[in-house]
Amino acid sequence: MLKTHNCGDLRVADVGETVTLAGWVHRRRDHGALIFLDLRDRSGLVQVTCNAQGTPAAHAVLNTVRGEYVIQVQGGVRDRPAGLTNPNLPTGEIEVVAESAQILNEAHTPPFYINEDVEIDEALRLKYRYLDLRRPVMQQNIILRHQVVSFIRKFLDGRDFLEIETPMLIKTTPEGARDYVVPSRVHPGSFYALPQSPQQLKQLLMVAGYERYFQIARCFRDEDLRADRQPEFTQLDLEMSFVDREDVMALIESLYIALIEALGSKPILAKPFLVLTYAEAMARYGSDKPDLRFGMELVDLGDLSGGSEFKVFSEALAAGGQVKAIVAPGCADFSRRQLDDLGEQVKRFGAKGLVWIARKGDGSVKSAAARFLSESELAAIFERTGAGLGDLVLIVAAANRSVIARSLGELRLALGQQLGLVRRDVHALCWVVEFPLLEWSEQGGRWTAMHHPFTSAMDEDWPLLESDPGRVRAKAYDLVMDGWEVGGGSIRIHRRDRQQAMFRALGIGPEEAEEKFGHLLEAFEFGAPPHGGIATGIDRTVAILAGTTSIREVIAFPKTASATDLMFRSPSEISEAQLRELHLSITA
């Protein structure tokens, strides 16, 4: 080894030791005959010093080094003189007096600061990702990610799980996201698909009798990107035989509690995790991934507004819709401009408008709708919503219930952040269960699986699959953390007849089912055990633990929003020869 110690590990206990260090010049403070420099390696920083009289050999070398030079230093660890310690550095009580030093490699001045935390254009960071990753913040993120994955492996190994790899070159499936596809050289005109998840493979491992499987699995989906979505991402993929819903949930709950308590920096707001049905989550939070770090729940005003003079209310209800409200605490004095902005926000989600009622501090009521609402109606609204003096009641009425949920749910999130109501000092996790098995696709004109086509219905709901598919609830569960969907899973179908019934409900005919899923259907006839599992997002989990809002911050080499890699400059064209070999021609 070119070094005997790590920079960041040196302490007072090492005083008197002779050490050899190697690392990057983080910062240099040159007093002429006296030089200080902060030497950095993965473990952290330590101050190295030398002077022209006492250590001339080292001084001659360190006089020429610059930022990010890679150097090696030999010297003794000593206590810093009294009053000269640096409490901001874990190594701040000691320093290394360099006796000699060598330049291992010179470095250009980097295109951005590695030794300072300033905002840098993300495109530049991605172009020089290897320098970006050198920054201490990024190193912490990547190290945290390693710790999370390592923790999960140990946890599951201790509970009798087997880590089993599954292929990356599989087969395109109907349903779900757009596949990334790989042309076959050997079979002209045929393609592999990269897995959107190892879903079928892990089910087949259950049929194979492995009982408890997991994998830190890379997944690929060719869909547009977001701050929390990359074309390739990593899941903890897990499957168990002979379990019911509660078994999988209990296992993952204990894993996440242990994980957060071991590696997170914030306490968990409530244990055990709250379990909400999908219907409840939508009703109370207007979202299937509610952020429980603050209140501001949606309140139903339907029974108060049935006979209202206010047609916005009564007509929505007559059309089978709802009238619902949230209370923005202390916002009664919002300006007209602010209220208009809130109105614009809900319109994005299909609401015709936002009804606002300001209950002023002096007890007076201000509202554009006030003349349509009686005293008693107002009083009832204030009582139901709990709106006090100084609060602002925000109401959406619509015939379409999902419009109300969506618009008030998003408004709740926006206001929660804007008003600083979201508790940043805790993590809040919950389960959302009993999702609808199917949802109607307007553009497809058919039912689609809300989770995936292998999800089992609730036992008592199976009879509804043909008669009333929209009412069938799934044995599915989502894990939600701080308003992010971090995981989702289900008990699977393990009987051929039920799987066929599911395909039928999805409009997949017998021939197509045989062609696309024949292997699975056949496997179910050879003794498939009842089984279920879950997949949780490693990128999202680490991002939340790291306190960042983009998963790119916890992925070593992420892609841009347009799915390019700025360092490799990928995707890129391939040669004519490669195209020929793959039997491909470019038409675009």
Partner RNA sequence: GGGGACGUAGUGUAGUGGUUAACAUGUCGGCCUGUCAAGCCGAAGAUCGCGGGUUCGAACCCCGUCGUCCCCGCCA
Residues forming contacts to RNA in the complex (CB under 7 A) are 27, 29-34, 36, 38, 47, 49, 51-54, 66-67, 80-81, 84-86, 88-89, 92, 95, 109, 111-113, 116, 118-124, 126, 173, 175-178, 196-197, 199, 221, 223-229, 348, 443, 448-453, 550, 552, 560-562, 564, 566
Q: Which amino acid is at 575?
A: S
CB nearer to RNA: give 42 or 348: 348
Paired residues of 78 in beta bridges: 95
> Residue 193 and residue 171: Cα distance in Å, rounded?
5
Angle at 255 between CA 163 and CA 494, to 5 degrees: 55
Q: How far is the CB of 481 from RNA (least distance, A)?
A: 16
Q: How far is the CB of 328 from RNA (least distance, A)?
A: 21
What is the separation of C-alpha 99 from the centre of its chain, rounded to a whole number of angstroms?
48
> Residue 36 and residue 372: Cα distance in Å, rounded?
75
> Residue 307 and residue 301: Cα distance in Å, rounded?
12
CB nearer to RNA: give 111 or 302: 111
> Residue 202 and residue 235: Cα distance in Å, rounded?
13
CB nearer to RNA: give 318 or 556: 556
Q: How far is the CB of 252 from RNA (least distance, A)?
A: 17
Structural contact between residues 25 and 39, judged by C-beta atoms closer than 8 angstroms:
yes
> Residue 450 and residue 272: Cα distance in Å, rounded?
26
Q: How far is the CB of 191 from RNA (least distance, A)?
A: 18
CB nearer to RNA: give 228 or 377: 228
Q: How far is the CB of 367 from RNA (least distance, A)?
A: 28
Q: How far is the CB of 333 from RNA (least distance, A)?
A: 27
CB nearer to RNA: give 107 or 208: 107
**293 is written with which tokens?**
């770090």
Q: How far is the CB of 359 from RNA (least distance, A)?
A: 31
Q: How far is the CB of 352 from RNA (least distance, A)?
A: 17
Residue 489 vs residues 97, 168, 474: alpha-carbon distances, Å: 57, 21, 10
Q: How far is the CB of 138 from RNA (least distance, A)?
A: 15
CB nearer to RNA: give 296 or 438: 438
**345 is written with which tokens?**
């926000």
> Residue 31 and residue 50: Cα distance in Å, rounded?
10
Preceding amide of 272 cis, omega within 30: yes
Q: How far is the CB of 158 from RNA (least distance, A)?
A: 27
Q: How far is the CB of 412 from RNA (least distance, A)?
A: 14
Paired residues of 325 in beta bridges: 299, 395
CB nearer to RNA: give 33 or 556: 33
Q: How far is the CB of 488 from RNA (least distance, A)?
A: 8
**The pairing of beta strand 212-220 with beta strand 162-163:** parallel
For residue 256, give the H/E element and its range: helix 245-263
Question: Any residues with CB less than 8 A from the CB of 301 and at least 6 apart, and which?
Answer: 313, 323, 324, 325, 381, 384, 385, 395
CB nearer to RNA: give 32 or 307: 32
Structural contact between residues 219 and 195, judged by C-beta atoms closer than 8 angstroms:
yes
What is the CB neighbour count within 10 angstroms for residue 433? 23
Q: What is the dihedral of CA 565, 567, 569, 570, to 10 degrees?
A: -40
**164 is written with which tokens?**
């089993």
For residue 120, give the nearest of 101, 134, 106, 108 by alpha carbon. 134
CB nearer to RNA: give 293 or 552: 552
Structural contact between residues 304 and 381, judged by C-beta atoms closer than 8 angstroms:
yes
CB nearer to RNA: give 14 or 175: 175
Q: How far is the CB of 253 from RNA (least distance, A)?
A: 22
Question: Measured over all CA atoms, what is the biggest interatomic distance in the chain, rounded to whole angstroms?
Answer: 94
**42 is written with which tokens?**
């993965």
> Residue 215 and residue 314: Cα distance in Å, rounded?
53
3-state helix, strand, coil in the chain (%, to 5): 30, 25, 40
CB nearer to RNA: give 110 or 329: 110
CB nearer to RNA: give 113 or 242: 113
CB nearer to RNA: give 53 or 376: 53
φ and ψ at residue 214, rounded to 5 degrees: -145, 165
Paired residues of 487 in beta bridges: 479, 536
CB nearer to RNA: give 376 or 443: 443
Query: Coil, strand, or helix at residue 447?
Result: strand
CB nearer to RNA: give 212 or 552: 552
> Residue 229 and residue 219: Cα distance in Å, rounded?
11
> Residue 93 and residue 89: Cα distance in Å, rounded?
8
Q: How far is the CB of 64 from RNA (least distance, A)?
A: 9
Query: Coil, strand, or helix at residue 236?
Result: strand
Q: How far is the CB of 397 from RNA (least distance, A)?
A: 21
